[in-house]
A and B are shown apart, each in its own frame.
Chain A
């Protein structure tokens, strides 16, 4: 696999002895949108946390551009360019939007002005709100701030954990427009989403995570053509 940015090779992970992920094997290819779908509580977020080094990988490997990253500290993984926009945003509520964005560039502060410009152009609402504390933003604005903060890191792989969670449909549409645009610009994106339908059309590759294992992998259109899988695993 020449063009894989992120390779997860038979990785298992879990919390204090309880295995949540069981021998996961998948890749996120350069410039593609790779999606992980599946029911709640089946390990999607744990997978992103394991990649970020927040949950220990107990066996198997995770590689970025061929180099192992699964034994590194979370800050070292960020330095290597694997950036996560966590579920529920996890903004710094008492900091302003601007400070939150600066925190995004903490590990990699080169070309700061240029990146800030890019984020403000992509998400103009953040520019309007730049001096407002993040704790006072609306749900949609918070999500944009979380994504903007992730983009400030200028990383190689952007991982997004359920960016649609808890938002109104019209806001979800806007957020996904931004994500699909990033994909068109050639960003490598690893996206976790509960609703397969929402991303089926745009994802280059979809992996279905069920009970800590990859139950199915394929193209988005293929998944939608298999109603029995969608019904069994995603309850649609």
Chain B
């Protein structure tokens, strides 16, 4: 029983972090057909900004988190105006933006390397204490991460489902031309989505660095996991991504316990292969069916 609680607790924390890292990626792919390869670097930048805001600027941790989200949202906007907007006017947008964002990610990563050095730094935004369930001690930090992730996911869901802006984002991702015919200014939607994705990446970077450490390359692993989650869920399906993220987090925690840490990533990849053989369009992706 204790083992189960332990697995569920760490699985949920992992899943929550993956989910927040994935939502932004999935939203951007869903609306722009753009695989943002700079997502991992933005996520890391969020962690560093939070660190710098607390340690160097002496900001309150909550303000530091907001500052990181704001800066990364601006980076998202910058990517829109400097790369996505000009490339949207040319052909082969998907390939071009893929390569362009690899470049942007590399620039951000190297700027962080120059600014903060290559050595791991602890993230000062941490919550002390623990919760005891049975004989299992769960760090309060993990509970906190789960809580923040749930609040963020709920906020994104409300934004997408209940607001006119959210409906415009969904409409654009379902059919760009139809959205334009409704009077949606798709350029603005793209900018909003990239900014939102940047802000979410920042929070996810802060979460991840708070239970690991900050290094300029720390974004690579969560971005890879986020891609896996996206592919398993069906690219661009935000709600599917949240479910897949939590399921993969739980699976990772269980594999780590049963088979050992070194098998966890291999198991994830095996699962992706199986899912894609079974459903090439992802678990929650839909084949286009048209009734006449």
Contacts and interface: CB of A to CB of B under 8 A. Distances in A.
Nearest to A84: B181
Interface of B: 164, 167-168, 170-171, 174-175, 177-186, 286, 289, 291-292
Q: Is the interface of B mostly helix, strand, loop or mixed?
A: helix
Contacts of B177: 54, 86, 90
B182 A107 contact: yes
A20 to B, nearest CB: 16
Interface string A66-89: 000000011100110001101000
B99 to A, nearest CB: 23
Nearest to B289: A135
Given A54-B177, A166-B292, A153 B170 contact: no
A49 to B, nearest CB: 9
A92 B292 contact: no
B278 to A, nearest CB: 22
A47 interface: no
Contacts of A172: none
Contact of B178 (A53, A90, A135, A139): A90
B181 A52 contact: yes
B171 A95 contact: yes
A136 B264 CA distance: 39
Nearest to B181: A84
Contacts of A149: 182
Contact of B174 (A73, A95, A102, A166): A95
B184 A91 contact: no
B164 A104 contact: no
Given A90-B177, A91-B178, A138-B291, A153 B171 contact: no
B183 A78 contact: yes
Contacts of B185: 73, 75
